[in-house]
Homo-oligomer: A and B are copies of this chain.
Amino acid sequence: MIVTVTLNPALDVTYRVGELVPHGTHRVSAVGLRPGGKGLNVAGVLHALGEPVLATGLLGGAAGARVTALLADDAVPAAFLPIAGETRRTVTVADDVDATGFWEPGPPVTHAEWAAFVAHFRGLLGDADVVALCGSLPPGVPVDAYASLVRLAAAGGVPSVLDTSGEALRHGLAAGPDLVKPNAAELSALLTPAGAGCREVDAAAHALTCGARAVVVSRGPDGLLALTRDEAWRGVPPERLTGNPTGAGDACVAALARGLRDRTPWPELLADAVALSAAAVAAPLAGAVDPETYRRLLPAVRVHAA
> B-contacting residues of A (Cβ < 8 Å)?
15, 17, 20-29, 31, 62-63, 65-66, 91, 93, 97-105
In the assembled complex, the CB of A8 is this many whole angstroms from the nearest CB of chain B, namely 12
Q: Are A104 and B15 in contact (CB under 8 A)?
A: yes
A105's partner among B27, B100, B105 (CB-CB below 8 A) is B27
Residues of B within 8 A of A97 (CB): 22-23
Residue contact A17 to B102, C-beta cutoff 8 Å: yes
State in angstroms the CA–CA spacing of A27 and B104 once bound together.
6
This protein's copies in its complex: 2
Tell me which residues across on chain B come within 8 A of A62, comparing CB atoms.
62-63, 65-66
Identify whether the interface residues of A are mostly helix, strand, loop, or mixed. Answer: mixed
15 A-B contacts (beta carbon < 8 Å): A15-B104, A17-B102, A20-B100, A23-B98, A23-B100, A24-B100, A25-B100, A25-B101, A27-B103, A28-B104, A29-B105, A31-B105, A62-B62, A62-B65, A91-B91
How far is B24's CA from A257's CA once the two chains are assembled, in angstroms?
Answer: 31
A103 lies within 8 A of B22 (CB): no
Q: Are B103 and A28 in contact (CB under 8 A)?
A: yes
In the complex, how many angstroms separate the beta carbon of A305 from the nearest chain B beta carbon?
36
